[in-house]
Structure 1
Amino acid sequence: MDADAVLARLAFQLPPERIAQTGAEPRDSSRLMVVTQESLSHRVFRDLPELLRAGDVLVFNESRVIPARVMARKPVTPEGFGGGQVEVLLLREEEQNVWSAYLKPAKRAGKELWLGQPGGVQHRAEVVGTLPDGARLLRFDHDIKPHLDEIGRLPLPPYIAAGNSDETWRERYQTVYAREPGSVAAPTAGLHFTPELLARLDALGVERHAITLHVGAGTFRPVTGSVADHVMHAERYAISPATAEAVNRARGEGRRVIAVGTTTVRALESSAHVDGTVNPGEGDTRIFITPGIPVRVPDLLITNLHLPGSTLLLLVAAFAGEERIRAAYDAALEQGYRFYSLGDAMLLERAAEEGR
């Protein structure tokens, strides 16, 4: 299937005011579009227990967003030159104390940076390399992770105006079940869940299990050329033996598996055999799911409304079918849905032709 043609057909114009700048309050009061093979309907996210059933397996991404945006300064020379400010977005620890990072401005960043708040403790980083996508490699002389809460801010997607304080965002741009620190963007489909909603799902008999996929900055990158030439950033994932066993057992017994978010789909599919059996384990994934590539594991997908021209729009088209996604996005635009990270949600049923 021609993924470039699919992406072109799914293009749409989104008025800027439809990009959500704040999440729904309470979280589960966001809208939920339910898209099955037969119908399209409009609900509220707190209705989710009415749409699921006992024995369903709900799989979450429990990655936690880290305060990865840090202000740094270049050193001042003996002559008094330098000391300019550089914004650092730490991406991930590539090896012990060596991080990949985007720098702004990158060209004038130099070879040495001091990270930290003015008047506070400063942490030295040496710029030791450049990656093909333009990210720099920063080597610290100690573990920087314990200091990020003090010196860093939560990285927000570029389409969200900062507005609120960093303290507010540290609570709101984080799922209520986040556990494993490592993401630079939230797995946003999970932002709609509340402790009360999770308790209702437990009472219904829905099984809850978790994977981890640390979301990288590549989640912001649209497809700018040919789909075939688009390079996915590597992201780390882990699937426990307990989660793999629960998913495989449910599939073997004909019970449904529901992925919370495209990151969960990518982790499950990265570890799956051709028959859909999920392996436990961990590693890096660059999986790029486009129409024509089967999605084998989840039966349903909870997801937000994505950017035109994005890899995530291609993923949901591969999952639910191009025509149903086109109809769903047309309905979302007509019905006033809120888009992107802090916006409304969809519950998508896998297309029949992708079924096992």
Structure 2
Amino acid sequence: MRQQRIGIVMHGVTGRMGMNQHLIRSVLAIRDQGGLALADGSRLVPDPILVGRNADKIEALATAHGVERWTTDLDAALANPDDTLFFDAASTQLRPALLRKAIDAGKHIYCEKPVSEGLEEAVAIARYAREKGVKNGIVHDKLDLPGLRKLKRLRDSGFFGRILSVRGEFGYWVFEGDWMPAQRPSWNYRADEGGGIISDMLCHWRYVLDNVVAPVKSVSCLGAVHIPTRWDEAGAEYSADADDAAYATFLLEGDVVAHINSSWCTRVRRDDLVTFHVDGTHGSAVAGLHSCRSQARVNTPKPVWNPDVPQALDFYEGWEEVPDNQVFDNGFKVQWEQFLRHVVEDAPWNYTLAEGAKGVQLAEAGYQSWRERRWIDLPELEI
């Protein structure tokens, strides 16, 4: 079977997400399965070059996973015409300049979210990519989670009737780092390094709500810094001044009300680290990362409020598991495959940097709402 190579400059993949999800479980998984099957019958085989500042880390990562190429010289990597795609999973603060440099080098670009810290710059880089004619994409990994794909399947089938509301719960306890090491990097809790759960998670909630339920029209958000002191990777105490929780209400198209709590300061007592509960006139559903359960109107129990006696109904009983009906691959890998097909075959692709700018728009509106204690409308972006 004929193979063709695609060279990928991968920047910032020594971090947890970049290494595990993008390098190992996506690009290398595609390589190790013999490449991506294309429409002409050939297979597209990724050939990554790892780029980072720490030579020891990069070399060790490359050696551990059979990657032949690595470098600390980003400019040299971008100058190689045999590598046509640039991927970035490093700091949000550095991303716009890195993307612009890659675009100037003629590379197609794919990157983690958020695309930038501010809307003006997010719109500018999206316009720049379009003007330069490079194909571009933003990560939107939660759309390919099995639970959310099942939830969207219910919506598309008309199961809900008219959707009324959405309740989302995301988060878990992130240890402070003193007596128990923290499971998230310290920069997440430093405002001057681009930290904050609003900037991190509202970008996700934008594309989830837009694509699984209905487009977001306005937001009211309250942020919080619940834990003001944490300890970094070296065990040093620092001031955690970035928001570690956000309580946001969204008004969606069709007057659907959505409320999502996002917190790194909560202990989990629910089915998963994130759950979405959708209520409609004809049915309801609750989705996590992998599972989704539904309850139709005809299966809905009829409880009666009586605080004087223990509740006799088991409210979990009347929910049915939505079956897989197919094999779900890793969501990051699925999107890498879609974007690679877009690059080499011009296959359809909707999640451009313009979509990434919408996520930044919502995060920026969330911060504005918190500061001004009011609802913020989201106008259409002109990109």
Normalized per residue, the structure richer in helix is 2
Give the alignment's TM-score, normalised by structure 2: 0.27
Higher relative contact order (CA 8 A, sep 6+): 1
Give the alignment's TM-score, normalised by structure 1: 0.29
